[in-house]
Amino acid sequence: MVKGTTFIIDETVDDEAIGSKPSSSTWSNINSPYLKDLPLVDRFDECDNQGTDSYGSSSINQVTLFGVTSTMPSLAGNIPLVNMADYEKLGCLHQMFSRQAKSTPGSVAVVTHDGKQMTFGELDKATDLLALKLRHLGVKRNTVVGILMERCLEYTIAYIGILKAGGAYMPLEISHPHPLMQSVLEDSAPVAVCTKSQFSQRLLGLVDASRVLLMEGDWLEELTHLEVIPETVQVSLDDMAYTVYSSGTTGKPKGIQCPHRGAVFSYHWRHSAYPYQTGDREACNVFFVWEMLRPLLKGVPLYIVPDDVIYDPPKLTQFLKRHAITRMMFTPSLLQAVLDFRGLDLEDTFKTMRQIWFCGEVVTSILRDRVAKLLSWVQLLNLYSISECHDLACADLSGPKPQGPAQETRKFCPVGQLLPMIHIVIMDDEMTVKPVGAPGEIYVGGPTLASGYLNLPELTSKRFISRPAHVPSSVGSRLYRTGDWGYMLSGGTLEICGRCDSMVKIRGYSIEIQEYWDYILSGGTLEICGRCDTMVKIRDYSIEIQEYWGCILSGGTRKIWGRCDSMVKIRGYSIEIQAVEAALLQLPMVNTGCVLVLGDEGSDKFLVAYIVSEGKTSRKEVRAALKKRLPFYMIPSKFVFLNRIPMVEATGKLDKKALPKIDMDEENGLDPQDLPSTQTEHIVAAIWCRVLELQVIDVQENFFDLGGHSLLAARLLSEMNEQLGLDLIITDLFSQCLSEMNEQLGLDLIITDLFSHPTVYSMAGFIDDPQMTNGETVKLDLNAEVERHDQGKSLMDISLRAFWRSFQLSHAKFRRDKVFLTGVTGFVGAFILRELLTSTKATVYCLVRETPGSTPLQRIKDTLCEYGILRKGAQADEMDKKMEARVVPIKGDIALVNLGMSEDDYMYLSYEVDSIIHAAAMVNLVYPYRALHGANVLGTENVILFALEHKIKPIHHISTNAVFPCAKEEYYEDDDMSKYPDKLTSGYAQSKWVSEQLVLRAKARGLPIAIYRCGNVAGSREEPCWNKLDFTLLMLQGCLFTMSAPDIDWQVVSLDSLEQRLIRQHT
């Protein structure tokens, strides 16, 4: 046996490995041992020794001031270094264009799909004429002019002409419904609207006809007769350049007013970081108002992709090929649609393409790898920007596929490093700057901030705040309150934890619905997870509603995970839809997809997964793969396969509203062969769905895999009795005899019949013909089960050799500081925790499965109270203090991949934990092997994998003497266990035998392991408690009640001696 816990190889903690959502009740405890030695800083005035309030002066050089993060050139990562100090000298957007037009007047500026062209000189003249017309209409600085037309040459003229007139352009999407158009126009009150006759009808009654400028026919010729206005318009970088409307979380659109400064800064950075080359041609449609000016400012021709071409892959590829396009921005969904369209010669289509920019959506690793393989010569750039802050980060996704274990499971690509002069501050509700590791709200400072919201002064003052005095002036005079909730990590990086718009309940479970998922990747990258802007109360708990999710990693870079729309509850369990979607996207057979919640408020809600598959697959395969990663209640009820994900034409983003409607009468969660076929199967399936609270059920799916247990079994058989007209009586739950069949039917249905027929198919067959149906009598091969679950291939020989070599070279000892404990809510596990708290100084990470209405910490406390470990009085107070200081509850499920933990928690703990005490097991002497397989076999397999992840962690495995057959023979501890599997009759003994064999194999390969084979564990000699469901206790109670005793050789193990021996061995 191994003495001690674990030898720690590396004290360094991975920056990605720490975070979980701060809204979780376990978050502060998860980080408390890690954060306790970090310095706390209340004010940063003494740190502010370089920056000024002027963005045009020196930029910040510090990377992290505890709660303040900014970038410095040396941390630019895979994006070029750019000195942005002189960007103010460029002037405003229209001034930049005019200089370029005058330097290359004869060069082609704009090309349309029908061959129409305009040179820079012609474009400069046309925009001057339009600017003059707009000034006659009253346009001046900081006034708004709308643009309502398709992507076309006239759009570009209107865009630049409005800026030259001193005004701010306002895009009006032709796809917007009338109520939205009316709301925007009433709120913005534009001085004029540039449009065409085919769209002008939409402005009737909303804009005065005299202020509707039709840009068609001889409109330019007519403008040449206007009287010249000699005075020039004086516009500064801080005057408004454009107003864009966002629907926001309230449903009422809000106008975001953005000055020239942010756009000039962004264009200058992109021009400097990724300069145009000779012969470049840029195509544009997606994010047209952001992208069309970028090539024009550098004398590069703009090729306008028509609206009826952009989402038609054959037409789009023809356009790209015909015009020899070299650069273009895509949403990931758009490029995915092009790649998925059959019959296209992509190599020929993209042969001239040099650079593709991604923006607006998540870039999956699958898409990146696919593009890199098919279009290996194309540079892939991923840009992250938000309306209120413009561009914030960028990543170069080009090159070979990243290698390493972490990259193999990664589903999303990085958004990248923060741009120069972009700054991050974390503060709490009292505006106190938070120290490293402490959660708070994320604030953004820098030159790219919007001015505010049009006609919404209260919202503007709330979201765009003046820099508090205690925040360094180097971040700028204003900060944008993002609503993102996050905290700093050890490397000066930030973890953002999310924002949801509403809460939904499904069968009592709270579930977060994510509308956009983005980027969860390695250090030095930006991944967005969300943003929050409201607080709601659910069952008297204040819950922060978040909309986007993300985090900023070391090197001043950031991640985006997505946006959540709601929380739902299913059977009382809180469920994050983000987690459901993340698990779905991790499956090799899934290319992309999304998860929605359906069902009216107050009704039985359920989850639906929409999937674009990677190759041929089936609903059953997807369900089976998800069952390894998610608890049963998080498995979507229905699966819908699509050829592609629909997109919103106006934005190129995912259009969830356009997803196919679900026919509630169709069993589209299953494949046809898995549906009920006989009348009895239909009746039994309906009862199972009702009892298990499911929408659909696979007739071949196991009762226990669907969340069934003994109490539900009693209810299930009771309802089958009523529905099928049988006479079933619950006679004795402890003896497991549930009922008897009607004598006329000649059936004697007991709970073991359910164990023998644990699927709808086999149970229905048994009811139809009990004489012919013998149940699922396939012989269980335990040795084959061991082979199936053996993780021998996962054992890293070099890691194990290094682990043991360290003891020889440095005389290292096992570390015992941080213990990972499973089974803490069980009888034995609870007392192991007590002994760890009283006899050691270890921090104990306790893996706890979620149950409805109870947090992991509360479950632990309830268990300790039940067994008398936490009582009233001084002793209990002392124990409670130790728990608060040293017990870290971790939400998870031992039977699931990564022990059911979040990726961040699993990664963090794989580095942090020193040793493992594996006490978790399902103990039931009646359940068959399959009912216990998840907790006892898969659980042990997952613990072994965890012990090998990143650093070697010794395992203390609690086994049982039930691995020996129940016979009168004598057995010894060193007996050859391979002789006994065929003699084991109970599912519990079989599952624990397989579990122990897995542990023994890992030990034989070098993993430090100690095994404790417990007999019948009795109560404590120190506490008046015993496991109330223990069979030995029930026997003793029966003896006292009947005043009689059987002739039995009683053999029990004192709980105290077991826990003390284990802790002595551990320490």
| Spatial CA neighbour of 171 closest among 198, 197, 199 | 199
Structure confidence by residue, pLDDT tens digits, 125-140:
999 999 999 999 999 9
Whether residue 29 has pLDDT greater than 70: no
- State residue 649 phi and psi, 5-degree precision: -60, -35
Structure confidence by residue, pLDDT tens digits, 814-826:
667 899 999 999 8
Whether residue 1067 has pLDDT greater than 90: no
Burial class (CB in 10 A: 0-12, 13-18, 19+), 707: middle
Q: Which residues contact 511 (CB under 8 A, 6 or more apart)?
A: 504, 505, 566, 567, 568, 569, 570, 574, 575, 576, 577, 580, 597, 607
Are 684 and 751 in the same domain? yes
Structure confidence by residue, pLDDT tens digits, 335-357:
988 887 778 899 999 999 999 99
Q: What is the average per-residue pLDDT within 266-291?
A: 94
Exposure string for 247-273, b = 16+ CB within 10 A, e = fewer: ebbeeebbbbbbbbbbbbbbbbbbbeb
Calpha distance 71→418 (Å, rounded): 6
* Among candidate residues 741, 768, 795, the one where a domain is terminated: 768
Structure confidence by residue, pLDDT tens digits, 183-222:
899 999 999 999 999 999 999 989 999 999 999 999 999 9
DSSP 257: E
Q: Which residue has the higher pLDDT, 577 or 365?
A: 365
Whether residue 71 has pLDDT greater than 50: no
What 3-state class would DSSP assign to 645? coil
Q: Which residue has the higher pLDDT, 1056 or 522?
A: 1056
pLDDT band, very low/low/confident/very high, at 632 (cuts 50, 70, 90)? confident
Calpha distance 617→645 (Å, rounded): 17
Whether residue 53 has pLDDT greater than 50: no
| Spatial CA neighbour of 359 closest among 387, 389, 388, 381 | 381
Calpha distance 489→436 (Å, rounded): 6
Structure confidence by residue, pLDDT tens digits, 510-564:
333 332 233 222 333 333 333 333 333 333 333 333 333 344 343 444 444 333 3
Range with the largest mean pLDDT of 26-30, 77-81, 466-470, 847-851: 466-470
Calpha distance 15→908 (Å, rounded): 8
According to the model, what pLDDT value does residue 768 have?
Answer: 67
Q: What is the average per-residue pLDDT within 665-677?
A: 65
According to the model, what pLDDT value does residue 539 have?
Answer: 31
Calpha distance 215→124 (Å, rounded): 16
Does residue 51 lie within any of the structural domains? no
According to the model, what pLDDT value does residue 485 have?
Answer: 64
According to the model, what pLDDT value does residue 569 have?
Answer: 59
At 691, which CATH number?
1.10.1200.10
Q: Which residue has the higher pLDDT, 701 or 254?
A: 254
The Cβ-side half-sphere exposure at 802, using a 13 Å CA radius, reads 13
Sign of CA dihedral 266, 268, 271, 274: negative
Range with the largest mean pLDDT of 8-22, 423-437, 645-659, 767-781: 423-437
Calpha distance 798→88 (Å, rounded): 55
Does residue 660 lie within any of the structural domains? no
Whether residue 595 has pLDDT greater than 90: no
Does residue 903 lie within any of the structural domains? yes
According to the model, what pLDDT value does residue 430 have?
Answer: 79
Q: What is the average per-residue pLDDT within 968-979?
A: 73
Whether residue 452 has pLDDT greater than 90: yes
Does residue 774 lie within any of the structural domains? no
Are 805 and 717 in the same domain? no
Alpha carbon 651 to its chain centroid, in Å, reads 23
Q: What is the average per-residue pLDDT within 863-872?
A: 80
Burial class (CB in 10 A: 0-12, 13-18, 19+), 27: middle
Calpha distance 178→511 (Å, rounded): 33
Burial class (CB in 10 A: 0-12, 13-18, 19+), 109: buried
* Among candidate residues 768, 790, 818, the one where a domain is terminated: 768
Is the separation of the CB atoms in 783 and 1000 below 8 Å?
no
* Among candidate residues 768, 803, 836, the one where a domain is terminated: 768
Are 683 and 815 in the same domain? no
Whether residue 264 has pLDDT greater than 70: yes
| Spatial CA neighbour of 548 closest among 441, 420, 396, 448 | 441
Q: Which residues contact 212 (CB under 8 A, 6 or more apart)?
A: 192, 193, 195, 200, 203
pLDDT band, very low/low/confident/very high, at 864 (cuts 50, 70, 90)? confident
At 879, which CATH number?
3.40.50.720
Q: What is the average per-residue pLDDT within 737-744?
A: 31
Are 805 and 719 in the same domain? no
Range with the largest mean pLDDT of 184-198, 236-250, 981-995, 1036-1050: 184-198
According to the model, what pLDDT value does residue 312 have?
Answer: 85
Are 1012 and 920 in the same domain? yes
Burial class (CB in 10 A: 0-12, 13-18, 19+), 413: buried
Are 749 and 889 in the same domain? no
Are 714 and 856 in the same domain? no
Does residue 28 lie within any of the structural domains? no
According to the model, what pLDDT value does residue 805 have?
Answer: 63
Q: Which residue has the higher pLDDT, 103 or 712?
A: 103
Q: Which residue has the higher pLDDT, 568 or 366?
A: 366
In which domain, by residue range, is 813 found? Answer: 782-962+979-1017+1055-1066
Are 717 and 836 in the same domain? no
Are 873 and 990 in the same domain? yes
According to the model, what pLDDT value does residue 379 have?
Answer: 95
Calpha distance 313→310 (Å, rounded): 7
**How many domains is the chain partitioned into structurally?**
2
- Bridge partners (DSSP) of residue 144 are 168
Structure confidence by residue, pLDDT tens digits, 978-1020:
777 888 888 888 999 999 999 888 888 888 888 888 877 877 7
Are 721 and 841 in the same domain? no
Whether residue 403 has pLDDT greater than 70: no
Calpha distance 529→563 (Å, rounded): 6
Whether residue 59 has pLDDT greater than 90: no
Are 956 and 902 in the same domain? yes
According to the model, what pLDDT value does residue 828 have?
Answer: 87
According to the model, what pLDDT value does residue 1038 have?
Answer: 86
According to the model, what pLDDT value does residue 383 have?
Answer: 87
The pTM of this model reads: 0.55
| Spatial CA neighbour of 299 closest among 40, 107, 496, 139 | 107
Are 762 and 786 in the same domain? no
According to the model, what pLDDT value does residue 443 have?
Answer: 87
Does residue 907 lie within any of the structural domains? yes
Average pLDDT, whole number, for the chain?
75
Helices (H), 150-225: 153-164, 178-188, 197-200, 219-223
Whether residue 146 has pLDDT greater than 90: yes
Sign of CA dihedral 141, 147, 151, 152: negative
Query: What is the Rg, in whole angstroms, of the alpha carbon atoms belonging to the chain?
Result: 33
Structure confidence by residue, pLDDT tens digits, 36-50:
232 222 222 222 323
Does residue 133 lie within any of the structural domains? no
Does residue 897 lie within any of the structural domains? yes
Q: What is the average per-residue pLDDT within 794-821?
A: 67
Q: Which residue has the higher pLDDT, 751 or 1026?
A: 1026
* Residue in this structure with the two tokens 């820099």, named with its chain if needed: 467
